[in-house]
Amino acid sequence: MSLQTRAARTPARTPSPGGRPGGARRGLLGPGVLAAALPDALRKLDPRTLWRNPVMLIVEVGAAWSTVLASARPSWFGWLAVGWLWLTVVFANLAEAVAEGRGRAQAETLRRAKRDMVARRLTGWRPGGPDPREETVPAPELRQGDHVVVEAGETVPADGDVVEGIASVDESAITGESAPVIRESGGDRSAVTGGTRVLSDRIVVEVTQRPGESFIDRMISLVEGSNRQRTPNEIALNILLAALTIIFVLAVATLQPMAIYSMGADPGVPGGLALDSGGITGIVLVSLLVCLIPTTIGALLSAIGIAGMDRLVQRNVLAMSGRAVEAAGDVDTLLLDKTGTITLGDRQAAAFLPLGGVAERELADAAQLASLADETPEGRSVVVLAKRLHGLRERTPGELDGAEWVPFTARTRMSGVDLPGRRLRKGAASAVAAWARERGGDVPPGLGRAVEEISSSGGTPLVVGESGPAGTRVLGVIHLKDVVKQGMAERFAEMRAMGIRTVMITGDNPLTAKAIADEAGVDDFLAEATPEDKLALIKREQEGGRLVAMTGDGTNDAPALAQADVGVAMNTGTSAAKEAGNMVDLDSDPTKLIEIVGIGKQLLITRGALTTFSIANDIAKYFAIIPALFLTLFPGLDTLNVMRLHSPQSAILSAVVFNALVIVALIPLALRGVRYRPGGASALLSRNLAVYGLGGIVAPFIGIKLIDLFIQFLPGMS
């Protein structure tokens, strides 16, 4: 297996610590994490920053107003309430700061990879032209279209395509994968990334990036969260939360006039901010408002979005926008390439089918001898299968005295070996049959039928022939098949349970494609696919109202990647593919598309679950604060005091404290995400309502009561 193939098939790993994407992390909310995030949380108190979160902006305005009121009429209750109102805003900012802070070390490591980099720029370079003039320049001065030369031991200064030469490249600084990959001019393995290191040979790279838009620049923006735009779903939810906040602001604003009217008394307090006999003060009104508006989800909404993108980074996937992550959660159709995604990509020997009375062991021995010098994956698999099924010792070409090896050519379509007194050939059925007939040999009548059966099942037949003193004959057929990766059928079954339709794309003929599709368990397939066919398929799916995701790595995949709602380009692919897609898989593992869909769904489920919890837990706060506010005016409301809280002051403060602490308690869940289990939409909704809806109602009753038991002993709580 080549270095390139081995690297492409290595599953996403968690790289070592030190800031690499996906590196080892401390606890989600450990003391070190909180200490590092606290300065950012305090800086976010600036209203110019907080205006993007209208719910928390209202809380901050209310906290500031309460501070003025507490200064005018100091009391233990007033200052405790003000303190917890400010903590509510800080905790909300802390959630976002923790989420953003998880990318700080990653960004710094990437900056170190970019800093002080120089380039050997070639002036006047053209293919086959005279030697160009070389000059050393700082890497930031490179522009699109420049050509640079990079030799063994040097770092690639900018993103680009190899236009001359071939080299082994270490991409561990970007992907975390230690195995080097091969990059060469032409084809789909020409793209190189700035910051990677050339290990061997010499290449000329044409710069494709614009200043400030390199791969590393985009990764830095992503992990810092500085380039994260709000998604349509997130914007819609923010609008809903703002609308609920406005409704509660209007409702709370009417409480004091209503209390005044009910008492039939004049407020007696400048500005009408308090009605002592009714128990209503400006601080109490703010506390009521903060507890009733959806502060929990308002505080965690941004952190949920950042954490969703961070989970992709942990799996070495670079998302160009939050919209792509969210779209992944709503995908209806997955387009998957067959080779290397659903199958291993290399045809493997699966069986020996002897013909004309030949023993299977004799066929296996001849096939093994004919394959000893064949270094292709197919040839090695023949040697291994003969050894496994018949115990034939794996010999080496050097052990066969006088052997002359016959390499495969497109003209003969055969390979083999000439031994003293014996010749063996292995190759296409028609070629080996013609070779046998030329030497006066017979072709068994069952050869055509065996070849047809293997072909119709999606396999590839290789025929083995022998010529010796006893004559020439066809010994039998080797069945080669593209092996479906283990567990793929189960994964596609999970996709089906999620309501996602899977389509396999392949260049194989329809018979072969159908056989692989049936074995893998995909819902449909597109055989003999051209770039135009892929693009047309995506458009048809989208016209039917479905969201489509696909993977690709070649220039011919670029139109389809650009058209797809979620286009995942392989890092080993061309620059055109990576520019067209809205995600780049740094590990170049095509099966990761399935994981990306799961991460997208987890993001949406986490947002929905915490929204459900946030709205549900307001119910308990009604039972805590409303009786406390109006008990003097309407003694009958005491029946709603089901928690039997100590006093109106302790009831209000307990609700405010719980409202602040629940934000901190839910930060780890927002960052980690709600566990996603494949299932239908109705099942997911039922589970969310049962866990987070019911939990959101019950938890505050318990939490507020426990806090009340503690704070009732504080001054001013009588």
Assign 475 to helix, strand or coil.
Answer: strand
Which residue is it, tokens 């950042």? Answer: 306
Helices 322-329/295-314 angle, 10° precision: 90
CA distance 189 to 169: 11
DSSP 285-343: HHHHHHHHS-HHHHHHHHHHHHHHHHHHHHTTEEES-HHHHHHHHT--EEEEETBTTTE
The DSSP bridge partners found for residue 201 are none
Give the contacts of 409 (CB within 8 A, at least 6 positions apart).
none
The reply, when asked if residue 414 is annotated as ligand binding, is yes
Assign 48 to helix, strand or coil.
Answer: helix
The reply, when asked if residue 408 is annotated as ligand binding, is yes
Q: Quick check: is 337 catalytic?
A: yes
**Selected catalytic residue, list 310, 337, 587, 589:** 337
Closest listed residue to residue 373, CA positions, set 425, 420, 433, 421? 425
Please report, for residues 84, 197, 207, 629, the alpha-carbon distance to residue 34 in angstroms, rounded to integers and kept in the order given: 18, 36, 41, 36
CA distance 619 to 293: 11
**Cα-Cα-Cα-Cα dihedral sign, residues 228, 233, 239, 242:** negative
Helix or strand run (H / E) with residue 540: helix 531-543
The reply, when asked if residue 579 is annotated as ligand binding, is no
CA distance 293 to 656: 12
CA distance 221 to 225: 6
The reply, when asked if residue 415 is annotated as ligand binding, is yes
Helices 295-314/592-616 angle, 10° precision: 170
What are the strands, taking DSSP E only, across 171-248? 181-184, 191-192, 197-198, 202-207
The reply, when asked if residue 315 is annotated as ligand binding, is no
CA distance 493 to 500: 9
Binding residues for ATP: 374, 378, 408-415, 426
Residue set of the binding site for Mg(2+): 553, 557
Please list the active-site residues: 337
- Annotated binding site: which residue ranges? 374, 378, 408-415, 426, 553, 557
